[in-house]
Amino acid sequence: RGADVDKWVKGACRFCGTGCGVYIGVKDGKVVAIKGNPDAQTNFGFLCVKGFLAYKCMYHPDRLTEPMIRQSNGKFKKVSWDKALDTVADKFKELHKKYGKDAVAYYGSGQAMTEESYTFNKLFKGGFGSNMVEGNPRLCMASAVGGYISSFGSDEPVGAYADIEYSKCLFIVGSNASECHPVLFRRIMRHKMKNPDVKIIVCEPRKTTTSKIADLWLPVDPGTDLAVFHAMAKVIMDNNWHNERFMNENARITNGKETFDIAAYKEFIKDFTPEKVEKLTRCPADNIRQAAEWFANSGASTSLWTMGLNQRTRGVWANNLIHNLHLITGNLFKPGADSFSLTGQPNACGGVRETGTLCHLLPGTKPVTLDKWRSHIEKEWGIKPGTINPKPGFHTMKMFDSLGGEKDTSKPIKGMITCTTNPAQSLPNLNKYIDGMRDSFLVVIDIFPTRTTQLADVVLPAAFIYEKGGVYGCSERRSQLTEKCVEPMGNAKPDVWIAAQIAKRMGLEKLIPWNSDDSMKNNEMAWSEYIRVTKDTDHTLAGATYSRLKKEKAGLQWPCPTTDHPGTYKRYVRGMDPMFEHEGFQKKFGIKMPLDRQFYFYMDSKGEGKANIWLRPYAGPAEVPSAEFPFYLTTGRVIEQWHTGTMTMRIPEIARAHPNGYIEVHPDDAKKYGIISGDMVEVTSIRGKSILPAHVTKVSLPGILFVPWHDQAMDRMINFVCNDAVDPGSKEPEFKIAAVKIKRI
Ligand code: SF4
């Protein structure tokens, strides 16, 4: 398509957490093509169908192009931006005055740009004094965050995608990477094809296309894999395949209260024999033994996981137990060895996690409860000491449970802005939360009508990424700038401008001054402030200025403390990680790096530079099949569709592929229920039901059903059925596991 465009603009893909680098082709002021960036270290020029066709949704006739306010007859009326913004600001002022600071909330997204998350976080925490700030990464990555912080002391991976090509053994857990991170999966396949001796182990309840390239499949019942990880650890310890020196130098064994020696660790896992674990999980004992041997003795093992591990009531523990395997075998700092969480969304890491746009965090991923950091942020933001509430707000599920109308005295949150997300389709146990969204004062910023805009009072049309520009930070700590390519459709506006205009109307223009008509100028000011505020953190991007990001072919990986620093491949390794020499960081956080330590987990809260090998007891899912609900239900994505289908269902080529949800049923179960492919099947949990066409296939184990969750039709929306029980640590809901029954209708 090179000859058909006026210019190619460098940027990042709008969809998954792989973070593929793209070039956006512009002709006559319109985006007409997207191609892969061959210099991008994430994808080396390759794209999947979503990234390649993303631009096609931009010009769909459904685009929201004018602000709208719901009238007393329930219908929306198009209004001017002034009218819409005045309405939002006036109502928020009123709610603030009447019900207090925490009556207004923000719910953002791992698909919003970093500048947008930073701006809304600042507006709410610094302007309104409300920590009722959350984002949809709570629904997908919070357990990974909890796992990294509790095991290694700091969020996000040690290494990078580059470890794939150095790896001798890849342990893929709870991830259908072939469909959910397809370009990254291509790297895995290519590595395997070039190096047939590389072992690939896949652990998950479905034998997906990811499992098809595996040397070994560890099938498990949903939520039971904690036992498999302990059993692998037991086999490793029993055979002396562990790395005692690495364990002693770099880790402590703990249950959170006390520390233990290696003998006590062996004692703790002694009951997890492969045979016992086979009975509990359905994973064959021999497969567990083989996986342990390959993992421990490969020379360089990397684990990769995503929602199958995170969206669980024991998601943090599952993450800890994967990290344990790396810590006991010393598979961490060398090339090809890493414990790597694959992020679902394109900017869950860079946007929401790193800017601290969650109820308990501040920019730099430091907690609101940390007095020193709160004072630092207040000083940087030029606000009065004590403005930021030291008490965390509500996590996502509690926030939506607390959202309601002014007449409802049981619901303290009365108003909410949502940005770049569709909670009326994406929350689990939807029946419980829809009334709150409908009854409260709901402002939705989005590019298309969604289930959430149907419940809104005010709808604000947003510019698409390629109409405004901004930074995305993908799974491997890499931030990439997308430059603005074209003007927004109709009267759509960039989200930073929208936030700044609301701030202006609430007397907070000094706090959020980024309200010019030039979106790249606004973004650059927000970004520059963000990297200045966080320059002394272990996540520093101080060297990743806009002018540098424009020049870099493939973005930059933090820590990147100075404009001449190339970015960091491995954290915690002397000679590779710049934090070993970063005086500002060490001073700010009172860290001393001993010269005799080559590896140092500098965010260890005990100040010993060690990671934690956790003694986590086994715990299964919140719901298990019963006589009444005899099946496990698990959900996920298909390669063509993205989340709630808001964008992908408006790309004609993609809309034709998997337009509807379906329910995968194993042939043994189908026979018992008299179901054949194409029959309509009602699937019911204690919370709700859904009706879907059957797809009879051996992909899942017998007794396990699978439904993709992109379908927007009310009767096929599977999140009515999903469980909203949360992990006690990460507060992430257990989307992945529900007990259900089925019937053919
Ligand atoms: Fe976009 Fe992910 Fe596909 Fe890459 S793999 S093109 S980031 S959707």
- The CATH number assigned to the domain holding 654 equals 2.40.40.20
pLDDT in tens, 616-646: 999 999 999 999 999 999 999 999 999 999 9
- Ligand 1 pocket, 646 CB below 6 A? no
- Give the per-residue pLDDT at 484: 98
Ligand 1: residue of 14, 24, 50 to mutate (most ligand atoms within 8 A of CB) is: 50
Q: How confident is the model at residue 2 (pLDDT cuts 50, 70, 90)?
A: low
CA distance 401 to 381: 31
Helix crossing, 495-505 with 114-121: angle to 10°? 20
Q: Are 36 and 67 in contact (CB under 8 A)?
A: no
Note whether residue 586 is domain-resident.
no
- Ligand 1 pocket, 51 CB below 6 A? yes
- Ligand 1 pocket, 642 CB below 6 A? no
Q: How far is the CA of 183 from the centre of ligand 1 (A)?
A: 6
β 470-473/21-27 pair status: unpaired
Q: How confident is the model at residue 409 (pLDDT cuts 50, 70, 90)?
A: very high
Backbone angles phi, psi at 446, to 5 degrees: -160, 175
Q: Which residues pair with 733 in a beta bridge?
A: 726
Please state, in angstroms and as integers, the Cα–Cα distance from residue 169 to each residue in 130, 192, 204, 209, 678, following that order.
Answer: 46, 10, 17, 18, 39
pLDDT in tens, 599-611: 999 999 999 999 9
For residues 398 and 480, state if they share a domain.
Answer: yes
Note whether residue 151 is domain-resident.
yes
- Give the per-residue pLDDT at 658: 84
Atom of ligand 1 nearest to the CA of 42: 4
Atom 4 (ligand 1) nearest CA: 20
- Ligand 1 pocket, 50 CB below 6 A? yes
Q: Which residues pair with 367 in a beta bridge?
A: 361
pLDDT in tens, 354-391: 999 999 999 999 999 999 999 999 999 999 999 999 99
CA distance 185 to 200: 12
Note whether residue 597 is domain-resident.
no
Please state, in angstroms and as integers, the Cα–Cα distance from residue 262 to each residue in 238, 240, 256, 600, following that order.
Answer: 12, 12, 16, 20
Amino acid at 665: V
- Ligand 1 pocket, 696 CB below 6 A? no
Average pLDDT rounded to a whole number, residues 413-435:
98
Q: How far is the CA of 57 from the centre of ligand 1 (A)?
A: 15
In 3-state terms, what secondary structure has residue 460?
strand
Atom of ligand 1 nearest to the CA of 474: 7
- Give the per-residue pLDDT at 3: 59
Q: How far is the CA of 181 from the centre of ligand 1 (A)?
A: 7
Q: Which two tokens stand for residue 50?
A: 């979503």
Q: What's the CATH code of the domain at 125?
A: 3.40.50.740
Atom of ligand 1 nearest to the CA of 54: 1
Q: What's the CATH code of the domain at 209?
A: 3.40.228.10
Ligand 1: residue of 47, 49, 347 to mutate (most ligand atoms within 8 A of CB) is: 47
- Ligand 1 pocket, 16 CB below 6 A? yes
Q: What is the ipTM of this complex?
A: 0.99
Atom of ligand 1 nearest to the CA of 18: 7
- Ligand 1 pocket, 125 CB below 6 A? no
For residues 47 and 86, state if they share a domain.
Answer: no
Query: Range of 395's domain?
Result: 68-136+347-538
Q: How far is the CA of 674 from the centre of ligand 1 (A)?
A: 39
Note whether residue 606 is domain-resident.
no
For residues 310 and 231, state if they share a domain.
Answer: yes
Q: How confident is the model at residue 235 (pLDDT cuts 50, 70, 90)?
A: very high
**At a CB cut-off of 8 Å and minimum separation 6, what does 97 contact?**
none
For residues 333 and 206, state if they share a domain.
Answer: yes
- Among 324, 341, 358, residue at a domain's last position: 341
Note whether residue 232 is domain-resident.
yes
CA distance 110 to 124: 18
CA distance 513 to 521: 11
Q: CB atoms < 10 A from the CB of 69, how many?
A: 16
Mind spelling out the 3-state secondary structure of 48-62?
CHHHHHHHHHHHCCC
Q: What's the CATH code of the domain at 52?
A: 3.30.200.210
499: exposed, middle or buried (Cβ count in 10 Å: 0-12, 13-18, 19+): buried
- Among 520, 538, 556, residue at a domain's last position: 538
CA distance 248 to 263: 13
Atom of ligand 1 nearest to the CA of 47: 6
- Ligand 1 pocket, 174 CB below 6 A? no
Q: Are 423 and 719 in contact (CB under 8 A)?
A: no
Q: Are 33 and 59 in contact (CB under 8 A)?
A: no
- Ligand 1 pocket, 637 CB below 6 A? no
190: exposed, middle or buried (Cβ count in 10 Å: 0-12, 13-18, 19+): middle
Q: How far is the CA of 590 from the centre of ligand 1 (A)?
A: 40
- State the pTM of this model: 0.97
- Ligand 1 pocket, 17 CB below 6 A? no
Atom of ligand 1 nearest to the CA of 22: 6
Note whether residue 640 is domain-resident.
yes
Atom 5 (ligand 1) nearest CA: 183
For residues 41 and 169, state if they share a domain.
Answer: no
Average pLDDT rounded to a whole number, residues 518-544:
97
Mind spelling out the 3-state secondary structure of 522-574?
HHHHHHHHHHHHCCCCCCCCCCCCHHHHHHCCCCEECCCCCCCCCCCCCCCEC
- Ligand 1 pocket, 570 CB below 6 A? no
Q: Are 218 and 228 in contact (CB under 8 A)?
A: yes
pLDDT exceeds 60 at position 264? yes
- Ligand 1 pocket, 18 CB below 6 A? yes
For residues 77 and 46, state if they share a domain.
Answer: no
In 3-state terms, what secondary structure has residue 308?
helix
Note whether residue 128 is domain-resident.
yes
- Ligand 1 pocket, 11 CB below 6 A? no
CA distance 700 to 176: 12
pLDDT in tens, 199-223: 999 999 999 999 989 999 999 999 9
For residues 337 and 220, state if they share a domain.
Answer: yes
**At a CB cut-off of 8 Å and minimum separation 6, what does 348 contact?**
17, 110, 136, 137, 140, 141
Atom 1 (ligand 1) nearest CA: 51
Q: What percent of the chain has pLDDT over 90?
A: 98
Atom of ligand 1 nearest to the CA of 182: 5
For residues 726 and 710, state if they share a domain.
Answer: yes
- Among 296, 316, 341, residue at a domain's last position: 341
Average pLDDT rounded to a whole number, residues 699-722:
95
pLDDT exceeds 60 at position 77? yes
Number of independent structural domains in the chain: 4
pLDDT exceeds 50 at position 1? no
- Ligand 1 pocket, 219 CB below 6 A? no
- Ligand 1 pocket, 15 CB below 6 A? yes
For residues 221 and 355, state if they share a domain.
Answer: no
- Ligand 1 pocket, 182 CB below 6 A? yes
For residues 106 and 33, state if they share a domain.
Answer: no
Closest among 272, 366, 294 to 615, alpha carbons compared: 272
Q: How confident is the model at residue 117 (pLDDT cuts 50, 70, 90)?
A: very high
Q: How far is the CA of 660 from the centre of ligand 1 (A)?
A: 21
Atom of ligand 1 nearest to the CA of 15: 8
Atom 2 (ligand 1) nearest CA: 16
- Ligand 1 pocket, 20 CB below 6 A? yes
Q: How far is the CA of 668 from the centre of ligand 1 (A)?
A: 35
Q: Are 514 and 522 in contact (CB under 8 A)?
A: yes
Q: How far is the CA of 48 from the centre of ligand 1 (A)?
A: 5
pLDDT in tens, 476-500: 999 999 999 999 999 999 999 999 9
Q: Are 638 and 178 in contact (CB under 8 A)?
A: no
Note whether residue 551 is domain-resident.
no
- Give the per-residue pLDDT at 142: 96
Q: How far is the CA of 151 from the centre of ligand 1 (A)?
A: 29
Residue 101's H or E segment, with its range, is none
Atom 3 (ligand 1) nearest CA: 48
- Ligand 1 pocket, 47 CB below 6 A? yes
- Give the per-residue pLDDT at 348: 87
Mean of the per-residue pLDDT values for the chain? 97
Task: Show the DSSP H helices in 167-243 as ranges.
Answer: 177-180, 182-194, 209-212, 225-238
For residues 382 and 259, state if they share a domain.
Answer: no
For residues 131 and 42, state if they share a domain.
Answer: no
